[in-house]
Structure 1
Amino acid sequence: IACFLKNLISSLDFIMQRIPLIDISPLFQYPSEKDSVASVSKAIADACTGMGFFYCTGHGMSDAQISEAIGAARSLFELDMQQKQAMNSLNSPLRRGYTPQGGQHNCNPSENSKACMPDAKESYVLGAGPDMPKPPKNPVAEAAMNSCPTKAEDSNVPDQRPADQQGQAQGTGRELQGQQQNDQEPADAQSPMHGSNQLPPESVLPGFQGIMRSYWQQLLGVSQVLALGLAKSLDLPDSFFVSKMQDPVAQMLCVRYNMQAPPPSSGATHATAATQAPAGPDLGSGSDDRLLGCGTHTDCGFMTLLCSDGEGLEVCTPQGTWVAAPVIPGALLVNLGDMAAMWTNGRYRSTPHRVLLPRIPSSSSTSHAPSRVSLVFFCNCDFYAPVRAIESSNSEEGTTAGRYMLEKLGLMYK
């Protein structure tokens, strides 16, 4: 019996350290299929209180669409350096565009050392703005919006919008009650986190813009459906999160992790909320002595959807150990960020994670060493969406999604 119990406990420990896989297709049948929707919502709750990560299938995107987007990103990174530097993120007030390896981004700065190892990656950032699509027409989101009126619990969050927008429904980039916004007055006009992107010209990278815009819009739609599942998992009104994701402050980070880390460099800065992981393997290198392509951190926003063409991502379990997040073809990897953790009073985890550099096969020269490309889609809420811990006192003042993001990122916009 003792041996049986020991094996059972070991099996349970193994199961608890696996990232769950959730088929979210029943959410697309909302408001019908109530039992299936409830089952998916329960699975989301279990994942968000446990690992803080989950794979989702049944999202409506084909393997080919995901592979096409990853391929487009890889093609961008394979441009010559002069073409990439023409889109350098330093040219953008929102830091959109290309950042070379060893550049400004560092997920794991050391406060106790003058020298700091920059992330061993090059990146390209797209963000919400006039040259990227708005969320698609989404029957699930519309049904959720019509299911119940906007809750009054957000009334204690100061209205920080420009004076000519105050008094309108908060938490949206557009009018909530089915009214169409004037095409001459874009919803993002007053959002300092919306802006133009540095896109490669069609003559330089044919098809890139169309592929990325299509992928972007599809992920916005999936994010809204997941927002419904999150609301139901917390026993909140169905429209609670969807109503605040009508024109979200979204950003997509395209990353290529190369085979070698650059030498330590002083003066490196970071734009991601760095978090010390719980007790576990050394944070300066991977669990198998590989260097980190992206240091240990939590995401600072609301929700992240990720796809990749290679291994390397590791997630810190509630027990403080690291587990790999392998690529599952056709699945998106979902995790919540610091905003979601704050919003849920810590009930849902914002989980530390990191990326190990690709292995260099013994038969490969450094010029032919492998690289890993990831597309990381950060779907945050509308800039002026009110955010306040859902179980906090009614007298407790909240903030807005935009203000929260700006404070977390340490950016200033004029």
Structure 2
Amino acid sequence: MSIPVVDFGACSLSEEDVADEKMHKLSKELESAFTEVGFVFLKNTGITQKEVDGVMAISKTFFLLPEEEKKPFSRENYANNEYHGWQQIEAERFNSRHPGDLKECFNITSFHPDIKWPSGALKGFKEIQSSFFQRCKELSLRVLRVMALSLGLDPQLFLSAHRFIGTESNGTTLRSLYYPPVNHEKVKEHQLRCGEHSDYGSITLLFSSSEGLQVQKRSGEFIDVPHIPGVVLINVGDLMQRWTSDHYVSAVHRVLLPPAGDSSTRQSLAFFLQPDDEAVITCCDGSNKYPPVTGGDFVLRHFTATSGEK
């Protein structure tokens, strides 16, 4: 099994208006990837490597600040949104049986007027992150449209449940992740940069600076995900698997430690697309395989179960 690379040029963000007929070939390619692997590489999306590098650069500037300068932006300091903000290393564990993950992150979840953003040496942090959030949102909506067509559904079906992205009524998150150098002498047993998990929501867009990610095959074996500059890796979330009555699969994945003696860092940007909190999700094939659930309730339940400190 390998993760296919699909040319998304017909639906690129550089295309202002995309007719459904242009999506037919794409829809079959995405359906194949999402039913067999749960992951796909998309090239020619309209999001450039330069854009990605810019977000990673401003994010790394933040992560390299002294801890006391990052603490004011910790998640617990945002009363308007408990998921927005910075998390320190080992504060989160995706595999609850293992030690905290060796990563830190900054979640962009809210654009509430009262949100405090890093400034000073981080001039442009809000603007760069906000702009990239919007770019990922637009690409995600195009992917959802193609996914609906691949299932023979109304192309608006998935879109209609994602109308409030970027508001307090939707939990979609742009997460900047930083994996610092690893001191193997201090690593705890079973500790990873990111423990085994599947994503909770609709789909995830992932941009990374290097290798390290692994995806689990249906056989249980993990395979290495190659690093391909200029592409976006997209995977199905748990809710989308449920939404499609298990037609699309949400695959488990993880980020390994670097080899002993390798002091390199790693960065990634993950855009976790969630349905609106009040959107009622029912099996799109008309079956009763899973009972109806709201987007907010489903994601909260899984978020709490999978993340160690929540």
Name the counterpart of 1:308: 208
Segments of structure 1 that go 5 or more residues without pairing to the other structure are 1-16, 111-115, 132-195, 265-283, 286-290, 363-368
> What is aligned with 1:326?
226
What is the 5 A alignment of 1:34-53?
34=21, 36-53=22-39
Task: Please name the residue that 1:99 is paired with.
Answer: 87
1:227 to 144, 147, 170: 144
TM-score by length of 2: 0.87
**Does the Cα contact within 8 Å between 2:84 and 2:107 map onto a contact in 1?**
yes
Are the structure 2 counterparts of residues 121 and 44 from structure 1 closer, same or farther at C-alpha, using a change threshold of 3 Å?
same
Q: Give deviations 1:383-411, integer Å, cap 9, x for gaps.
A: 22220112344798512111211222239
218 and 50 in structure 1: CA distance in 2 versus 1, 3 angstrom threshold: same
Q: Paired residue for 2:284, among 382, 390, 414? A: 390
Q: Is the 8 A contact 2:84 2:110 kept in 1?
A: no
Structure-2 separation of matches of 1:92 and 1:348 = 35
Alignment correspondent of 1:294: 194
Unaligned runs of 5+ in 2: 306-310
CA RMSD, 1 decimal: 2.2
* Partner residue in 1 for 2:304: 410
Q: Percent identity at matched positions?
A: 27
- Checking the alignment, whether the CA contact within 8 Å between 1:383 and 1:400 is kept in structure 2 is yes
Letter in 1 for 2:239: M
Cα distance, 1:263 vs structure 2: 5.5
Query: TM-score, structure 1 length as denominator?
Result: 0.66
CA distance in 2, matches of 1:339, 1:55: 20
Is the deviation greater in 89-98 or in 346-355? 89-98
Q: How does 1:23-102 map to 2 (within 5 A)?
A: 23-28=7-12, 31-32=18-19, 34=21, 36-93=22-79, 94-102=82-90
Distance 1:408 1:324 in 2: 26
Instruction: State the SS of the aligned residue for 1:247.
Output: coil
Match of 1:254 among 176, 196, 200: 176
1:326-367 alpha-carbon deviations (Å, 9 max, x no partner): 2211101100111001101111101000001234546xxxxx
Alignment deviations for residues 201-250 of structure 1 (CA, whole Å, 9 cap, x no partner): 2x131121111111111000001100101101111101111122222221
What is the rounded CA distance, in whole Å, between the counterparts of 2:122 and 2:250 in structure 1?
36
Deviations 1:225-279 (A, max 9, x none): 0010110111110111112222222112211112247655xxxxxxxxxxxxxxx
2:126 alignment counterpart: 209
Distance in 1 separating the partners of 2:29 and 2:196: 26
Name 1:117's counterpart in structure 2.
Answer: 99
Cα deviation for residue 128 of structure 1 reads: 3.4
| Equivalent-residue separation in structure 1 for 2:28 and 2:95 (angstroms) | 33
Within 1, Cα distance between the matches of 2:290 and 2:67?
Answer: 50
| Structure of larger gyration radius | 1
Equivalent residue for 1:20?
A: 4
Q: Is the 8 A contact 2:283 2:289 kept in 1?
A: no
Partner SS for 2:121: coil
Contact 1:257 1:357 survives alignment (8 Å): no
1:375 aligns with 2:275: no
Q: Which residue of 1 aligns with 2:295?
A: 401
- Contact 1:97–1:198 (Cα < 8 Å) also in 2: no
Task: Map 1:338-377 onto structure 2 (within 5 A).
Answer: 338-359=238-259, 361=261, 369-377=263-271
Cα offset, 1:62, TM superposition: 1.4
Distance (whole Å) between structure 1 residues aligned to residue 282 and residue 7 of structure 2: 30
